[in-house]
Structure 1
Amino acid sequence: MAKTAPPVKKNDMIELTFEDITHEGAGVGKINGYPLFVPYGLPGEKAKVKVINVKKNFGFGKLMETLHESEERVTPPCNVYYKCGGCQLQHMSYKMQLEMKQNQVKNALKKIGHIEGIPVHETIGMDDPWRYRNKVQIPVRSKDGELITGFYRKRSHDIIDDMERCIITGEINDRLVGAVREIANRLGISAYDESSHQGILRHIMVRTGQVTKETMIVIITRKEKVPELNRLVDEITKTYPEVKSIVQNVNPERTNVILGKKSKLLWGDEYIYDKIGDIRFAISAKSFYQVNPLQTKQLYDKALEYASLTGEETVIDAYCGIGTISLFLAQKAKKVYGVEVVPEAISDAKANAKLNGIDNAEFFVGEAEKVMPWWKAQGLRPDVIVVDPPRKGCEESFLQAMIEMKPKRIVYVSCNPSTLSRDLRILEDGGYETNEVQPVDMFPQTTHVEAVARIQLKESK
């Protein structure tokens, strides 16, 4: 059978009508059944498109001109949106973003998990989907002898030097990054140069408590001894009373990893504090802490609702991190066991339990898939297991360990609909059924979506 050549060639200029949208936010249009993926295209729009890459079964295009606009198209409020890769959906109404994320979860469940006919609720969005991030970490470089800060251009390590603000991060974070850059520039502190591995100031990180408004500045440097560092600290602390902590992190390696192993408190407290609901958290320079606490509260409230706790249950929180979900669960459960592979996170979890006077939560360092069978051998029989794995989802050995433990309910908190769907299929084949799924928009203006699934043991119904 003769192979059919694609109906378009590279550099062709065509008119295209977009019928759909990918999970990465690109518009999808077809020429004689051949799909073209075009960033910034919206369903229902007609556009002039330049073909930039042709593969056997699909191609990629560039949006040149919109001939017929969707009602859901909006003007991005960020002046560097089309240069920066941090957000992908600012050209789309927020209503459409929420619908897209709900559909993304539905499609993954259907295509990957072969799960249909269960409620996938409307995505829980934000009243104000801007200025929600409580943490920013921005690279520092030099241009024409001046320090500049800004995110990288898409698919590059070139800084966007006309970036004055980031409208998904908190205003105080923006202001403090600018202040540190301006003071460091005046004091002659040099910027790090990736290619020569010279210079000093690599990144500026700012973390803010959303409820407490306490702020921490982390100055990431290539070497420990930095001239004029004390003067920099003095100027910041005299001008910005909300700053409670200034930390230096030293990263001497040639690496894309932002933080190095060594941190040193320069001024103030080692921790800042924040609250999610009634639970208080201590946050250090290296602590993992959710960047959108308002939506984290929505996510955890839903996880708590799905756990259906009465006060008599034993709960396991796998991938517990610094204990955020564990401490929520402990308010309603008889006993919570948290497990996490990162030792520093477990130290933080124990400290956070103590900070909140919670004594019915215990935390263990280890890989969940290895600890669970050991717990089972010790006779631990959880009523509920809550999992919040990384993007790659759960190890199959861990899913099997859960199936063997036979908890009545499993609550799966996911940041990746594809791996959620894959793992739900394994649990369903192991005697469980998925009752409902709730998407939550933790990262407005981006393509990321979180979801919580309520899962029940079939025989316990």
Structure 2
Amino acid sequence: MAKIQAPVKKGETVHVSVADLTHEGKGVAKVDGYPLFIEGILPGETGEIEVTKLNKGYGFARLIRLEQASPERVEPPCPVYDECGGCQLQHLSYTGQMEMKYNQVRNVIDRIAKLPHVPVHPVLGMDDPWRYRNKAQVPVGLSGGRIVAGFYKKRSHEIIDMTECLIQHEESDAIIQKVKDVCAAHGVMPYDEQRHKGVLRHVMARIGYQTGEKMAVLITRTHELPNKDAIVEGIRAAIPGITSIVQNVNPDKTNVIFGSQTQTLYGENVIYDTIGGIKFAISARSFYQVNPVQTEVLYNRALEYAGLTGEETVIDAYCGIGTISLFLAQKAKQVYGVEIVPQAIEDAKQNAELNGITNAYFEAGKAEEVIPAWFKQGIKPDVIVVDPPRKGCDEALLDTILKMKPKKVVYVSCNPGTLARDLRVLEDGGYKTREVQPVDMFPQTVHVEAVAVLELI
């Protein structure tokens, strides 16, 4: 094995100044041109670091002592921020977070998409970048003989017992704590992943941001929930006005959270919420955007980019439970939505019915298979909207878009790198990217969403 030629050695301490942040929020310092990635240090800061790992072209280090702090550095308000892996940017001011996310999008549009002249607008952030998540799901375990519930410690499966999380809705914190306490009081043992024993694996809370409706989900290893009736009564007493209590059963030895069987223990099997005047039914396992305030901002921009007049046929690839489709259907002649998850398509159909929307058709399957079949049936879209997973659009779908030649493509992205890659493909196929709008859906974390609009030349 070739020896790594680096200007530093593992275990060596050096003084560095930081010039940049990676897309994971790590500081980047260079020693004789060799980049070191360091957690917890910001651009413009200097400090003493210890080299922890060396690779061929880059290394990692840990911050020992901060020497000069950035004016954008703030004190993280979360007491377990340093241990928990849920947030990465609480030590950076919100203005600094916006700048980092803008740079992240701008850089990949320039470098990967090779589109330096395309406008990338300033990030649309939140007035209050806290308490925005409407869903919380946490593992449950045993520590020192008592039940604990919280997020995993960074790079481990050790649970940090937390009474609150500052990016979750306050009601979610309360639901998780109350469910944990009620289960403990009735002798429900938490799941032990090493021995595959115990009952309670995870607790999930869902909140209707606009409606105030509340759902508690108990994810168990066994079908049997000891003292079930007493637990349901205990949860109802502890959480006044709870709308729904649900049990999901996952008997498998896996790190996947949900099992395939779900039963409602009390109340409704869904809660309702609204985004932009459209009502959504949300079950325990529904995919639903976790930041409804910013979802409306993102979708309004997508709708604006689509430029609908009421005469257009629109295809929504990766439609999920129909969130974007139903937004578009208000302004389009006809919308066709496709999604690989059959349950999501059932939810989409239910949501269309719930809102009296009759010009939206949904089909389960792979976008890259269903959309060409629609094309053969004579469905010719004026606009195609894509909102793919982090890996970006399937190559076959991009080929299909280039064959179908819609006048516009609106690309909603949760990964700027794959957005930039796919924009390059569409540009090479005859489209022109007009503009890109980043949106901060996940404040205090490194993630950034963006929506781009392309037109056929």
TM-score with structure 2 length normalisation? 0.98
Match for residue 48 of structure 1? Answer: 48
**Distance in 2 separating the partners of 1:290 and 1:364:** 20
| Letter of the 2:373 counterpart | W
- In structure 2, give the amino acid aligned to 1:438: Q
**CA–CA separation in structure 1 for the residues paired with 2:238 and 2:44:** 51
Q: Which residue of 2 aligns with 1:309?
A: 308
Contact 1:213 1:242 in 2 (8 A): no
Tell me the CA shift for residue 4 of structure 1: 8.8
Q: Which letter does structure 1 place at the counterpart of 2:31?
A: I
**CA displacement at 1:241 relative to structure 2:** 2.4
Q: Which moved more, 1:339-348 or 1:140-149?
A: 140-149
Alpha-carbon deviation of 1:348?
0.4
Measure, in 1, the Cα distance between the counterparts of 2:240 and 2:149. Answer: 23
**Equivalent position of 1:200 in the other structure:** 199
1:322 Cα offset (Å): 0.4
Amino acid across the alignment from 1:54: L
- Counterpart in 2 of 1:65? 65
Give the CA deviation at 1:78: 0.5
**1:381 shift after superposition:** 1.0
CA deviation digits over 1:136-173, x for unaligned, max 9? 01111112321111110111111113x22111001010
Contact preservation (8 Å) 2:30, 2:36:
yes
State whether residues 322 and 349 of structure 1, in contact with CA within 8 Å, keep that contact through their aligned partners in structure 2.
yes
The residue that corresponds to 1:345 in the other structure is 344
Q: Aligned residues: percent identity?
A: 59
- Correspondences of 1:5-16 after superposition (within 5 Å): 5-16=5-16
Match for 1:354: what amino acid?
E
Structure 2 letter corresponding to 1:376:
F
Looking at structure 2, the residues matched to 179 and 26 of structure 1 have their Cα atoms a distance apart, in angstroms, of: 36
Equivalent positions of 1:295-306 (< 5 A) are 295-306=294-305
Shift of 1:7: 1.3
CA distance in 1, matches of 2:13, 2:341: 52
- Corresponding position of 1:424: 423
Q: Assess if the C-alpha contact under 8 Å between 1:38 and 1:62 holds in 2.
A: yes
Off by >6 Å, runs of 4+ in structure 1: none
Alpha-carbon distance in structure 2 between the residues aligned to 1:80 and 1:290: 25
Q: How does 1:81-230 map to 2 (within 5 A)?
A: 81-161=81-161, 163-230=162-229
Instruction: Report the 3-state secondary structure (helix = DSSP H, G, I; strand = E; otherwise coil) of the residue aligned with 1:249.
Output: strand
- One-letter code aligned to 2:141: R
Once the two structures are superposed, what CA deviation does each residue of 1:344-385 show, in whole Å capped at 9, x if it has no partner? 011000000000000011111111111111111111111101
Query: Are 2:235 and 1:236 equivalent residues in the alignment?
Result: yes
Aligned to 2:399: 400
One-letter code of the match for 1:103?
N
Q: CA shift at 1:200, angstroms?
A: 0.5
The match for 2:436 is: 437
Q: 1:173·1:206 contact (CA, 8 Å) conserved in 2?
A: yes
Q: In the alignment, what sits opposite 2:365?
A: 366
Cα distance, 1:454 vs. partner?
0.7
**Worse-superposed segment, 124-133 or 375-384:** 375-384
The one-letter code of the counterpart of 1:126 is M
Q: Which piece of structure 1 moves more, 304-313 or 374-383?
A: 374-383
Partners in 1 of 2:4 and 2:341 — Cα distance?
Answer: 52
**Residue pairs, 1:257-406, within 5 angstroms:** 257-406=256-405
> How big is each residue's C-alpha offset from its partner over 1:79-128, in whole Å with a ceiling of 9 and x where there is no partner?
11111111100110011111111111111112211121011000100001
Deviations 1:245-292 (A, max 9, x none): 000000000000001000011000011000001100000011110000
Unaligned runs of 5+ in 1: none
Aligned to 1:25: 25
Letter in 2 for 1:283: I
Shift of 1:65: 1.0
| Cα distance in 2 between the residues matched to 1:187 and 1:420 | 49
Question: Offset of 1:391 from its aligned partner?
Answer: 0.6
In 1, Cα distance between the equivalents of 2:187 and 2:380? Answer: 61
Deviation at 1:55, TM superposition (A): 2.1
Q: CA deviation at 1:53?
A: 1.1
Counterpart in the other structure of 1:412 = 411
Name the SS for the 2:114 alignment partner.
coil
2:376 counterpart letter in structure 1: A
In structure 1, distance between residues paired with 2:300 and 2:321:
17
**Matching residue's letter, 2:244:** S
1:256 corresponds to: 255
- Specify the SS of the correspondent of 1:281: strand
Deviations 1:408-434 (A, max 9, x none): 000000000111111111100110010
SS of the residue 1:274 aligns to? strand
Shift of 1:186: 1.2
Deviation, 1:242, is 2.8
Q: CA deviation at 1:239?
A: 3.2
1:4–1:442 CA distance, 2 compared to 1 (3 A): closer
Alignment-mate amino acid for residue 347 of structure 1: E
**Residue correspondences, number:** 456
State the alpha-carbon separation in 2 of the partners of residues 285 and 33 from structure 1: 50
| SS in structure 2 at match of 1:126 | coil
Q: Please give the secondary structure, in 2, of the residue aligned with 1:84.
A: coil
Q: Is the 8 A contact 1:138 1:205 kept in 2?
A: yes
d(CA) in 1 for partners of 2:241, 2:46: 50
Letter aligned with residue 196 of structure 1: R
Equivalent residue of 1:218, what SS? strand
SS state of the match for residue 209, structure 2?
coil
| Contact 2:4–2:54 (Cα < 8 Å) also in 1 | no
Cα distance in 1 between the residues matched to 2:286 and 2:58: 42
The structural deviation recorded for 1:3 is: 9.2
Aligned-residue CA RMSD (Å): 1.2
**Separation in structure 2 between the aligned mates of residue 63 and residue 443 of structure 1, nearest angstrom:** 25
**Could you tell me the TM-score, scaled by structure 1's length?**
0.97
Structure 2: how far apart are the matches of 1:278 and 1:247?
27
